[in-house]
Chain A
């Protein structure tokens, strides 16, 4: 009985407790009315919580009408709603402006953005997907402070990416790309924009030191798209457009060409080259029109589906990209698929696997310059009276006296294509035995097969100058099989509520293997497509093959600590052992440390919360390395050469390079200071950073001293020299919304100053690019070095006064209209000692401005990029203005070139001989301002939401590289190149203006 009362009491108590409780239901959507699954819905002040299902729906019991529901989800601003009398509470979450709770990938781990202590910049995949490009880094241009990207034209071309300038002279300057945790080398041509979820750029050494020996040029971490809990979501992305190829020069027509050459000949005392120039009027051969298409197609297509449940999520996509060359043949085509599956077996165990098969094919002629350079009088085909009917199809073309090979014929002969098949598999297993302790092991295997097939037909356009007496066929097959394996253990713990610490330790192993085999033969019976096989070759069969391997073993660790979200400390340590180094320096250590102070979380900042939402100071230090060494560093090689001994020419061998057992890594030490801020509800946010990098033990190839007994051209790699660079990165971001109108602007600003601190010997001069660049201590590497072109001699008096103090002419062969070179050292001679610094290939600063505007369902984005303060070498000046060669010139050159006093002070007189070396002396004549401002992308779109049976339908039209402001007169101001030969513009494949239409469907 007694128990009955007790039970009754409990039942009444429970009823009383239940009485007054309210069940609230609703749907959570984003501002595009799309449901958001997985949103955490909690009753504020209690532990009661629920989450939204696949349709964004939830149900939760609240204690009373006064209860407040808090909705939170990563990437969105939290929202609190009072229940009141409502039992149906539908909520729309706004995307967060500053997204401090966003997750940033930091290498072998992720942290919240607010907890980052080093210099890391993040770009979302959808920002990259606004452009249709073959290489995702192309669309990164201007979007990340501290990253300078120089575009490269041509199907499959890879842009030059410099993170905070250069830190090496002789080794690669490309950053390391890490995709889903797996180091993938120095190119991401294999990756479609549509596959990318986000990019995180590790800019300073305190961030990148965890990648140790490959991180000196920075690291770009790429996270690909993964499935999210929810119903299957299909996404189709299509864009198609035209790349425009305008002739960068207005070349002379036949009559003008004749006039130009006649003038060059007569100016040099010869009779006219093409007398009666008027006879060529109307007889111009349109080479450009015959071989270069005004537009070429670029297409991008992607179809994907993603979704999943609490136990399993998936994301599958199929991506296609095609970029035709502007010839009638060739281009680049890429098909990739990505199949990502993640499984959660329990709260403790999860795993995932991603398959990434890929096919690429590429190849296109590279002779577009010849379409401008060949003379405009020669016809494309031989006249009928020069054909006897026995020629093969490649011999019917005419030969140009300009010595430029017939470009139409060259394109017709072109047969050099490469096919690549690749499969990358990446899988992980994660186990959390106790709360806070996570074991994770991840492995990847990549196998690839690349086949290059070349056929060169026989032809005879001209028996002396343009022929191949015998055809040849070549096939080269390269396979690679690489694997990586990394295992980490991470323990995170909060002590006494305010001490947050995390320790990660791990080990990685990587191995890269490759081999190739090739076959070559000549004398294929005919040039038909079916016979283009090595087996069909009847003469000079040859073959070869090789294999290579390299490996890297590392130990990694990271310790992070923060106190109450105010004071942060992070330290990392990596120990790398590389097969690329000899026993004496096989292993190297790469430590880093960083700290930050989140001032905005201090009590004394409480009063400023209305304005200052986030304010943080950061400082970091680290050491990273560069191990991208050429094989000759650790190989001793025997070279071959001919010597005359007695009366006989003897085939000899000699030691051409020697391994250096003491060789070690180039090491970059880096310090970084930064301030991050968010103001006025994070509408205005940004960061300002200053860095200094010092490279030590730089690798240079040096000759042996003569007393060593080695030949003069035998070399050895040694660690000598150092360089230093510094600069600032600025990011300012503003975003706001007024009703249906939202707008935003991101501004990035980057400077980089680099100087050589020391070379291998005092006063050493390191020349590059055929002695046209110089690198010395105390100045930037690879600056342009040559003579000062001090205008043109306008008259005989100026010629007569260009003498030394005794009347000896400084330029004895000069005539009025020739270039006057400066005798800088006043020694009465124009010689090597008069060369000086002509300019710098390195920009003083680069800027990016990314604007976005949206009104209701319309949106507009515009990206601008500027590179300011560098010079470029316009090598085409010699081709276009020099009368010494028979190649075609720019139209009107006979009037543009100096032809009397005051007619020009820039374009020298036309001369067949160029005795004054106007063009052969490398001078400031070739140097031009390389600054430019380019509108990288402008796109306008309209989105239909929940119409036509679709969740989303977006139609867009965009233009890429449509407008460029520059003083550079060459083909394109975006010119790359190695450190010692950067900025030499010539007939480089231009970054083309492109007009595209796009459609994006989600359902």
Chain B
């Protein structure tokens, strides 16, 4: 008789168990975490009942951190060490930040991504974001009473590969298993669409603290298909604050403002902006460090006036997105407003005028993204969802390669539905050329220098041939997170090189490991324990997945020998799980993955057949 298996506590593999998964909106101004509880998507609160977590991190000399409201309260007093709006720095170099001079930080220009000098040492934006995510992870684990299976993290739709990769790295650093990077407007569309059973073409206008996205989606029978997306990843509510700040300096005739005063006046500017949503005018008062008094009145008319160019900056991408979707403003059935900055009356007015309809404001613009992400996380974690729906998203920016003369050859055009792969052939330009350097870029412009450089790598060992003789096939693959990997292959010799696009800006695995090691709460022993724990969870997940698959159609799709091979692989993995060697478990996971690959292939094939058969039956009925 077979021995009964008893799962380790916390590693139960019971298929009906609800898996804990969350959606996280990692915002420029505020962050939130939400989950699906008894079929409802809800935002999780802190011990004081607050859902929003200000995306502010303050570093102390002893290495400890304050995150959220407590950090926000100190931002004027300790501006160098209190990092706000860190999202603006994700995946960005110093030269990408035109207003760096007016920010109260000590920037360190590092290759790829800018870093910030604090009393606790130099911090990368990835580390700062990870500190915010850790607080949200703790909040979720406390509220839900267990380890998370994973999280869906939202990113602006217009984030490029560098910004996405940085976000994913931050989540990894915070100890989160990323189920998916989800575009913010798409997340909002899910929450809105499911809530209102919406059908037809919708626009999501998402103006957050630091980013602007416009997405055009078609909602039809449970499919959310993004037709086009556009935006500006450096435009948001912060810029409106900044305009008021500049107006204050001008009106009060201030110059050479100290960092503390800058922070104070920016805070006053933000408060004025928020008040102008409800009032025709506001009074702005402040006492600066050197005793100067600021006492001004800002009318809503002046505010509209000094920000009209910002409002227009959102309409150009909106026009582009509609054009890419092949639609006119009147084809849009509804415009869903997302992001706190859409509360500004001049935004509501401009959007209404552009689409010739009242924008939809029936969802909380601060929460809708997190709520949508939670719904997606619940499905991705494998929890049953009542209604079966599907998301088809796109990449926001074209991907290409540098060719002769610094020109860009587009390989995958923007707004291609992901996952997507495309191959392009290139050849050598010199006789006897044995290597080729491959430069991957992202953007819409014709010149390499106007696009973002994503990665450079070399294909070596090409057999010497006459110029134009070699056939080098470069393949781009973009996965469902919108992340790119590139491989190159010389066809006649089979020489190959591939790269997951990250080195020129992102963090290498070594860097992440180093950060994990140096971060205070991760002493070395913890690291080993965590590595083991991660592999155990991964192994548990794999065994569970294969068991479920075997139960479903192991008998019909596998021969007795094949079945025995998989069973054996699972038995070996289970045995290694008894030990504490994470590397051994990892190796065995890989082996089992390999063994079960053909089974996975057959299951997939059957799924497609099923989809087709179902379709043909429908046709017969007509």
Note whether A and B form a binding pair: no
A residues sitting closer than 8 Å to B (CB atoms) are none
